């Protein structure tokens, strides 16, 4: 279901983390409304995904609207963008040579998020 920029702006007012607010604003500005909708929704609905689950997904560039956890191993080199990473997940991804960034950093670099899978 589509969401308006006005509705997203109302949702942002309830957010307290400045990093999250900046990410939502940037997504909204670039007309990435589905991403902004997921980011501005309740925090408890944000994903917590393990490396073993990321390993099963197709695609080399993946946005996780939530946190990446370190259970399991990563078998291939991928780019992962998330709101946060656990220390063990960051360590395993870096060891494998994977690119890890915050979602905001990827939006700034790739404004249309071309070739990126959002989960």
Along the 119 residues of the chain, how does pLDDT read in single tens digits? 688 999 999 999 999 999 999 999 999 999 999 999 999 999 899 999 999 999 999 999 999 999 999 999 999 999 999 999 999 999 999 999 999 999 999 999 999 999 999 99
Contact 62, 68 (CB under 8 A): no
Domain spans in the chain, listed from the N-terminal domain onward: 5-40, 44-118
pLDDT, position 51: 95
The single residue listed with the structure tokens 């393990």 is 50
Which token pair is 26? 């940037």
pLDDT for position 77: 93
Q: How far is CA 54 from its chain centroid?
A: 12
Closest to 20 in 3D by CA, of 99, 107, 118: 107
Q: What is the pLDDT of residue 28?
A: 95
Q: Which residues contact 13 (CB under 8 A, 6 or more apart)?
A: none
Fold of 44-118: Ribosomal Protein L15; Chain: K; domain 2 (3.100.10)
């Amino acid at each position: 279901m589509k969401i308006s920029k006005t509705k997203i702006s109302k949702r942002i007012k309830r957010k307290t983390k400045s990093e999250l607010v900046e990410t939502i604003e940037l997504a909204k500005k670039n007309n990435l409304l589905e991403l902004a909708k997921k980011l501005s929704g309740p925090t408890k609905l944000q994903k917590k995904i393990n490396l073993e689950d990321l390993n099963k997904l197709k695609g080399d560039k993946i946005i996780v609207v939530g946190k990446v956890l370190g259970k399991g191993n990563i078998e291939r080199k991928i780019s992962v963008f998330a709101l946060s990473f656990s220390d063990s997940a960051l360590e395993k991804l870096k060891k494998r040579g994977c690119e890890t960034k915050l979602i905001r950093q990827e939006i700034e670099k790739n404004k249309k998020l071309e070739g990126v899978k959002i989960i």
